[in-house]
Homo-oligomer: A and B are copies of this chain.
Amino acid sequence: MFDQCVALLKQRGVEKTDIIDCVYYLQKRYIADLTLDRIEHYVDSVLNKREVQHAIITGIQIDILTEQGIFADERFNQLIMDDYSLYGVDEVLAYGICNLYGSIALTNFGYIDKVKPGIIGKLNEHTTQCNTFLDDIVGAIAASAASKLAHDREKKA
């Protein structure tokens, strides 16, 4: 299911390198010699987790179906389409990912979700594609990889 998730993200405009960039953004201030190669290992590890994969496929599917106007209630469909700030279910799914990686992952997510660096900002500004779940999922994967990186680094220290 790993390949399927990577392909699905790509299809919606997110390359793995985009996620790696977000992790770098989060961790560069703590780790002087951080390399993109090392980050990739952690992003892959997060993408390999079953519950993360289920959240990715489910969330992106909701985005796609919303684009197709498939929600029975039109107003509700529009509310997701507009990434209405009080909708909340997109963040709930993202926290479902972050929770697996501990409290640092949650803090990282909250930060990245407000600052919107790189791809997260781009997804957010999209005018035709619905990225309501996608931007939070990408943020959650990056936040989780950054958390795992921080924890592993300490173990070795």
Contact = CB atoms under 8 A, between A and B. Distances in A.
Interface of A: 4, 50-51, 54-55, 57-58, 61-62, 64-65, 70-73, 76, 80, 85-89, 91-93, 95-96, 99-104, 106-115, 150-151, 154-155
A15 B60 CA distance: 31
Nearest to A93: B92
Given A65-B65, A107-B109, A113-B110, A89 B85 contact: no
Contact of A107 (B71, B87, B91): B91
A154 B84 CA distance: 11
Q: How many copies does the complex hold?
A: 4
7 A-B pairs closest in CB distance: A110-B110, A91-B103, A92-B96, A99-B99, A111-B114, A107-B110, A88-B103
A58 B55 CA distance: 14
Contact of A73 (B57, B80, B150): B57
A61 B71 contact: yes
B61 A86 contact: no
Given A4-B73, A57-B76, A154-B86, A106 B100 contact: no
